[in-house]
Structures are given as structure tokens and as C-alpha cells.
């Protein structure tokens, strides 16, 4: 996966000149750590989990990136995700490098107390390399604000001082920021809005299908339908639902909360009469004829095996790495534009940056201020990327990488390179 992720880097060097040392530096992670995390389970047994933290590059600032709990977490995946975080923070112009962490675990099988012990154990295992000026974690797949709160508390206990700025995505009452919860979805919507303006789309006629109904997918769906976009389909790990006349996202969310899966929204006695939705498969969802296919689940969802089935006009990546490089080529040949993850899902880390700033200053902003600042960054950086794509006649992904790599290269060069020292 990491080798594939790096192919995106290579595509940029056709368009811009970058010092060789920049390429060497950006081709490897600065530091990768694997630790075992022993957890006492509720039945008294001791279970050892494997935890990862990869700090990819810190030239532009302390490294930043989420911690994911998932059964398929491994070093290759975490390294790829940390590389994408590096590019993402540069694209958004944040003073951060990139990192990512994870634990190989199915968190749905743990009790709440086991989850707390695992989360505190993660911080104990990695405390030496984390910190507000070193490496700042945040939520990712299957981690949330509650877990960030436990982690902040554990770190403060170890450090014997309050350091809320060592982690972001915390609950509001523990130093979290207004708007962090919905930031990824909100940011992606701001990017889509700019894209829609450029293509002179009439929002009320734009149809959307969304893969993934987690933090990013749900908030995106909610905000997009509130704005007037027509959300026709959503999916989760257990299935998908579709309605040609559009879904009521809030109803879908409420029923999912009650039943823990979307299928129950589809048919559950009286609910069936209320919600006239059709149950479809995840593969059907990816192949729906809609204007925008939003990918908000996991990586490697659109691959060379199914890219020819996509019928959407545009793909919006709100997960990290949902389209593979081989699929990119097929989609490009078919004229399907991909608004890439490193731009489209950067709203999460942008508001994480705001949280870090607020924690450091001890002064907290109101929700409208957070939204306005997020909007400004997403509008500005999206338009830079769209302009670069026009200028170089390249894909939006390549344009986003050009933008990010130029900022990274600037920082790496200014620390000194061979040319600099030999003249």
C-alpha cells in the first residue's frame, strides 16, 4: 500500500522541479514505532494488542494525525496514512507534519472499560514520542472524542501537568473545539461547493451517493442535504439504502443509532411503512448513476476491478485513500474527476489545528468563528488546487500533490541542501 501511495509523489515530479534531497526525504518515514499494549480484559484475562505510531515528516512542524482502531491495522497501512497526513497538512497550509497511529483490534468486541484501558495503554506505550510540540494525535476510524478525552487524561497524568494541546478531537468540556466533530464533513462540503460553483451546478439538482456513514460520512450527508443537495444513497459496513427521491438523513441516523445498522432502517416493521427506501449492496452503491459519489469509508474501495463500473460524474474522497492509483488511471480515461482526500477531507485536521491553537492560548472560539475560519481555508486551498489543475492540465489529485509538495519542498530546501552547502 505504501509503495502505491508513493506513486502519487512520482507523478508530481513531471510537473515541478524538486531537489533530489526533497524526494529522498519524502520517500521514507522519519520514525515508525510498534509497541505491545497489554490490557486486562473484563474476564480477568490479559490480552496483548499491537499498537503503531508512524511520524512521517516533521519539517513543517510537529507531526499530526489520528489513531485508528481496526482489525486490519498494520504498519504498511499506518505508514501510508502518515504519508497522506504529511501531504494533507501541507495542502491545507497548517504548521504541522504528518503522522498516524493505530491498534489492531475490533473495538466493537470490547466493553467500554476494556476500550478505556486499551486507550490509556496506547498513551503509556507512546508517551515518550508524543506531545504538543512533538506529535499530536486525533480521532480516526473507530476512535472518537471520548477516547481522545481518556488519552489526554492519561498523558496529563504521566506528565504531571495539564496538556490538552497534546491531542485534538477531545470532548468540548475537556478542551475540545466547537465544530471539530463535524469538521471533516463540513470541510468536504465547502470544497464541493467551490467545485459546484466552477462547474455551474444547480445544487438542488445534484444527486449524491455516500459510502460510509461514520463521523465523516454522516455529517457530510446531513450538511449536504441541509444545503439542498439530493442524497440518494448511504451505506455502512453492513449494507446500503437507496431512494430515488432522496433520503431523510436525520431519520436514517436516528434509526441506525437505535439498531446499529442501516439495514434496520430499510425494514423494521412500522419503520418500513414510514421509510420508503430500497436495500442495495455496497457494490451497487458504488455503481449508482449519480452526480457525486462520496467515498467516506476505508482505503482501496475503488480499484482496477470496479473502477469501470462507476457511473458518477465526480468522486469526492472523504476517507483516506479510497481510490487506488490503478483506479485513478481508469477513472481519468473515462473522464471521471476525483476530488482527492488530501484536499477534500482536510477539514478535520484544520479544526484540529484550531483546537490546538485554542488550547495553547487558553481562549475559546464560538462555533460561527470556527466555521468561518474553516470555510476560508477550504475555499482558498480548493481554488488553488483547481487553478493548478487547469494550469498544468492534470488531475485534481496531481494538482493537490503539486500544491502540498511545493510547500514541503520549500521547507526542506530552506533547512539546507547540497546546492546550498556547496556554493
Catalytic residue among 30, 47, 88, 100: 100
Contacts of 26 (CB under 8 A, 6+ apart): 9, 57, 86, 405, 408, 412
Q: Does 94 bind ligand GLU (CB under 6 A)?
A: no
Residues paired with 317 in a beta bridge: 295
Which residue in 227, 228, 268 sits closest to 251, CA to CA? 268
Q: Can 100 be counted among the known catalytic residues?
A: yes
SS (H, E, C) 314-336: EEEECCCCCECHHHHHHHHHCCC
Provide the minimum distance between the beta carbon of 267 and ligand GLU in the complex, in angstroms, as a whole number.
Answer: 34
Residue nearest to ligand GLU (CB): 66
Residue placing its CB nearer to ligand GLU in the complex, 64 or 403: 64
Contacts of 350 (CB under 8 A, 6+ apart): 92, 94, 183, 187, 374, 377, 378
133 class by beta-carbon count within 10 Å (0-12 exposed, 13-18 middle, 19+ buried): exposed
Contacts of 19 (CB under 8 A, 6+ apart): 409, 412, 413, 417, 418, 419
Grid cell 468563528 in the structure block, residue: 369
Q: Does 321 bind ligand GLU (CB under 6 A)?
A: no
Q: Does 65 bind ligand GLU (CB under 6 A)?
A: yes
Q: Is residue 92 within 8 Å of residue 377, measured between CB atoms?
A: yes
Instruction: Return d(Cα 152, Cα 213) in angstroms, integer.
Output: 27
- Which residue among 207, 215, 352, 398 contacts ligand GLU (CB under 6 A)? 352
Binding span for ligand GLU by CB under 6 A among 36-44, 60-68, 258-266, 369-377: 60-68
Provide the minimum distance between the beta carbon of 319 and ligand GLU in the complex, in angstroms, as a whole number.
Answer: 9
Binding span for ligand GLU by CB under 6 A among 63-71, 145-153, 262-270, 413-421: 63-71
SS (H, E, C) 42-96: CCCCEEEEEEEEEEEECCCCCEECCEEEECCCCHHHHHHHHHHHHHHHHHHCCCC
How many residues interact with ligand GLU (rule CB under 6 A)? Answer: 11
Provide the minimum distance between the beta carbon of 127 and ligand GLU in the complex, in angstroms, as a whole number.
Answer: 18
Q: Does 140 bind ligand GLU (CB under 6 A)?
A: yes
Instruction: Return d(Cα 371, Cα 2) in angstroms, integer.
Output: 34
Binding span for ligand GLU by CB under 6 A among 104-112, 240-248, 342-350, 392-400: 342-350
Q: Does 395 bind ligand GLU (CB under 6 A)?
A: no
Residue placing its CB nearer to ligand GLU in the complex, 140 or 317: 140
Binding span for ligand GLU by CB under 6 A among 223-231, 256-264, 345-353, 399-407: 345-353
Q: Does 105 bind ligand GLU (CB under 6 A)?
A: no
Q: Does 66 bind ligand GLU (CB under 6 A)?
A: yes
Provide the minimum distance between the beta carbon of 345 and ligand GLU in the complex, in angstroms, as a whole number.
Answer: 6
Residues paired with 101 in a beta bridge: 53, 67
- Catalogue the active-site residues: 100
Q: Give the interface with ligand GLU as residue ranges (CB under 6 A).
A: 64-66, 138, 140, 168, 320, 345, 348-349, 352
Amino acid at each position: 500500500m505504501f509503495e502505491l501511495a508513493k506513486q502519487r509523489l512520482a507523478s508530481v515530479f513531471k510537473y515541478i522541479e524538486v531537489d533530489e534531497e526533497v524526494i529522498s526525504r519524502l520517500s521514507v518515514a522519519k520514525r515508525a514505532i510498534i509497541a505491545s499494549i497489554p490490557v486486562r480484559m473484563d474476564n480477568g484475562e490479559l490480552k496483548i494488542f499491537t499498537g503503531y505510531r508512524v511520524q512521517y515528516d516533521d519539517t513543517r512542524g510537529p507531526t499530526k494525525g489520528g489513531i485508528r482502531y481496526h482489525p486490519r491495522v498494520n504498519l504498511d497501512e499506518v505508514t501510508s496514512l502518515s504519508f497522506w497526513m504529511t501531504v494533507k497538512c501541507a495542502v491545507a497550509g497548517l504548521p504541522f507534519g504528518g503522522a498516524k497511529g493505530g491498534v489492531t483490534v475490533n473495538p466493537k468486541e470490547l466493553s467500554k472499560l476494556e476500550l478505556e484501558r486499551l486507550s490509556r495503554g496506547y498513551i503509556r506505550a507512546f508517551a515518550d514520542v508524543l506531545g504538543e510540540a512533538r506529535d499530536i494525535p486525533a480521532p480516526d476510524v473507530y476512535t472518537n472524542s471520548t477516547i481522545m478525552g481518556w488519552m489526554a487524561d492519561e498523558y496529563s497524568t504521566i506528565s504531571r501537568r495539564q496538556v490538552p494541546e497534546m491531542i485534538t478531537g477531545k470532548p468540548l468540556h475537556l478542551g475540545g473545539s466547537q465544530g471539530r466533530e463535524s469538521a471533516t464533513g463540513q470541510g468536504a462540503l465547502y470544497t464541493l461547493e467551490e467545485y459546484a460553483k466552477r462547474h455551474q451546478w444547480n445544487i438542488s439538482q445534484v444527486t449524491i451517493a455516500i459510502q460510509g456513514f461514520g463521523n465523516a460520512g454522516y455529517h457530510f450527508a446531513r450538511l449536504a442535504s441541509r444545503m439542498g443537495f439530493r442524497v440518494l444513497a448511504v451505506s455502512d459496513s453492513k449494507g446500503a439504502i437507496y431512494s430515488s427521491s432522496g433520503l431523510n438523513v436525520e431519520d436514517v441516523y436516528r434509526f441506525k443509532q437505535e439498531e446499529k445498522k442501516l439495514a434496520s432502517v430499510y425494514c423494521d416493521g412500522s419503520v418500513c411503512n414510514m421509510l420508503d427506501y430500497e436495500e442495495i449492496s455496497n457494490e451497487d452503491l458504488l455503481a449508482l448513476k449519480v452526480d457525486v459519489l462520496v467515498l467516506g469509508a476505508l482505503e482501496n474501495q475503488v480499484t482496477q476491478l470496479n473502477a469501470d463500473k462507476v457511473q458518477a460524474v465526480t468522486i469526492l474522497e472523504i476517507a483516506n485513500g479510497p481510490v487506488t492509483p490503478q483506479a485513478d488511471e481508469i477513472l481519468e480515461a473515462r473522464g471521471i474527476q476525483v476530488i482527492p482526500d488530501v484536499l477534500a477531507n482536510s477539514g478535520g485536521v484544520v479544526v484540529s489545528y484550531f483546537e490546538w491553537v485554542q488550547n495553547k492560548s487558553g481562549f475559546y472560539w464560538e462555533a460561527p468563528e470556527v466555521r468561518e475560519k474553516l470555510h476560508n481555508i477550504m475555499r482558498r486551498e480548493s481554488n488553488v488546487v483547481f487553478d493548478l489543475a487547469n494550469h498544468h492540465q492534470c488531475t485534481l489529485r496531481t494538482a493537490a500533490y503539486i500544491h502540498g509538495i511545493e510547500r514541503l519542498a520549500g521547507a526542506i530546501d530552506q533547512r539546507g541542501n547540497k546546492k546550498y552547502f556547496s556554493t
